[in-house]
Amino acid sequence: MPPDQLDLSIATEPPGALPSRIAPMQPSTGDAPFDDPAYLFEPWWPGIRAQAWIEGGAVTRLRAEGLADALDTFSELVSEIPAQLLADGVVLDGWLLALDEGGWLDADLLRRRLGGDRRAGRPGFIAADLPWSGGVSWVRRPFSARRAQLESVLLDGDRCVVSHAVRGEGTLLAEALGRFGIGGLSARRLDARYRAGQAGDAWLRVPLTANPASERPRLALIQRLPLGDS
């Protein structure tokens, strides 16, 4: 295989070991909400992108944008996430959030948490992709397979959930999210593998127009939006 075609998204590791690093897949920017049965649509959550390594029944690593030690900053998740998993040797890709006592997503609490206040809010993790499961790499499998595996091994709980999503109907989801002031829509091609760097049309972040009269976003309400099955 020519050098420019090598998959650099994972490091070389002994068989059965989790990779020391997975270069994250990065979304491209979309123009406007759209409908397409080849895509799965979900909220662009108002948090920070993160990857969680779970091995031996514990979160061993938590990588997040702009944080030197995310595991210390979001220490409550160390025991919460493994308790919801039906598999080991897993890497989850998603978002770290901060919620207030009522379960509302709170950007100010997240900023305080990131600034070093470990008492600020209740941390949460929204899982959206699964590049590694059962000690096996899933990066070359289509997103539809990774997503199905994610939903089968991660049980929704108080602090960690699989992101609510809908297939094909991006404009419907965008309209529903508008009332919560969510500023973006995630659109992922179901046939795309997990690859390092810019995803092209395999993953789009579509900006949404903010509704000035929007409700505060509440995790439980967004997760229950009646948009059909993913």
CA dist., res. 207 & res. 198, Å (int): 17
Q: What's the chain's Rg over C-alpha atoms?
A: 17
At 101 the three-state DSSP class reads: coil
- pLDDT tens-place string over residues 4-45: 333 434 444 444 678 988 999 999 999 999 999 999 999 999
- Residue 157 in any domain: the answer is yes
Rounded to two decimals, what is the model's pTM? 0.86
- Residue 113 in any domain: the answer is yes
Mention every residue, 6+ apart, whose C-beta is less than 8 A from residue 176: 225, 227
CA dist., res. 174 & res. 53, Å (int): 31
Location of structure tokens 């895509």 = 39
- pLDDT tens-place string over residues 96-122: 999 888 888 888 999 999 988 988 989
- Residue 119 in any domain: the answer is yes
- Residue 9 in any domain: the answer is no
- Residue 193 in any domain: the answer is yes
Mention every residue, 6+ apart, whose C-beta is less than 8 A from residue 113: 73, 74, 98, 120, 121, 123
Q: Count Cβ atoms below 10 Å from residue 122 Cβ, excluding itself.
A: 16
- Residue 109 in any domain: the answer is yes
Number of domains in the chain: 1
- Residue 181 in any domain: the answer is yes
In this structure, what CATH number is given to the domain that contains residue 69? 3.30.470.30
- Residue 16 in any domain: the answer is no
Q: Give residue 50's domain range.
A: 25-223
